[in-house]
């Protein structure tokens, strides 16, 4: 005996399981999410950053920034910011200072960032060469 179609209950179970594998959205329960890895520039201008964050339970378009780490290129200063809708230039730093000249910086700001519904939260690693207008950037969505 062959079954030509799955019963409706099985289809519903499969759809529910598939939805559970989808990326987290602002409406998902609280909890830590995979780290956001950022990278900009090459060679002696290679900069990296990592943002560890979690959703805030019951809050729309809000996340708690648990930690931020940056390693700047040998010739750069780098910082991580988020796309703050109220920021002067649309971005606000997540660390108190940049990482410069190949050093590393790690901070645990434990702050909640939030934006109006429909404003996608993003983080940006930006690096520049002091005394120059050359800038490297990497932007990732939270």
Interior/surface letters 99-114, b for 16+ CB within 10 angstroms, e for the rest: bbeeeebeeeeeeebb
- Output the pLDDT for position 28: 52
- Output the pLDDT for position 32: 79
- pLDDT digits (tens), the chain, 142 positions: 333 443 433 333 333 333 333 334 444 566 779 999 999 999 999 999 999 999 998 888 999 999 999 999 999 999 999 999 999 999 999 999 999 999 999 999 999 999 999 999 999 999 998 777 878 999 999 9
Kindly tell me the burial class for residue 66, based on how many C-beta atoms sit within 10 Å of its own C-beta (0-12, 13-18, 19 or more).
middle
- Output the pLDDT for position 29: 60
The CATH number of the structural domain formed by 31-141 is 2.60.40
Give me the phi and psi of 111, to 5 degrees please: -120, 155
User: pTM for the full model?
Assistant: 0.76
The Cα 26–Cα 142 span in angstroms is 9
- Output the pLDDT for position 37: 98
- Output the pLDDT for position 25: 45
The residues, ordered by sequence, that sit 6+ positions from 61 with a Cβ below 8 Å of its Cβ are 26, 114, 115, 116, 117, 118, 119, 121
- Output the pLDDT for position 74: 94
- Output the pLDDT for position 26: 43
């Amino acid at each position: 005996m062959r079954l030509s179609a799955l019963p409706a209950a099985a289809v519903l179970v499969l759809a529910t399981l598939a939805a559970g594998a989808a990326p987290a959205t602002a409406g998902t329960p609280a909890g830590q999410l995979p780290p956001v890895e950022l990278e900009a520039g090459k060679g002696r201008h290679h900069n990296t950053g990592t943002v560890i964050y979690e959703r805030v339970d019951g809050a729309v378009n809000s996340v708690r920034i648990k930690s931020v780490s940056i390693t700047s290129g040998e010739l750069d200063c780098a910082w991580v910011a988020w796309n703050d809708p109220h920021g002067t230039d649309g971005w606000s730093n997540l660390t108190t200072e940049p990482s410069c000249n190949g050093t590393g910086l790690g901070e645990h700001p434990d702050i909640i960032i939030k934006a109006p519904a429909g404003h996608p939260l993003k983080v940006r690693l930006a690096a520049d060469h002091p005394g120059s207008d050359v800038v490297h950037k990497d932007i990732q969505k939270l």
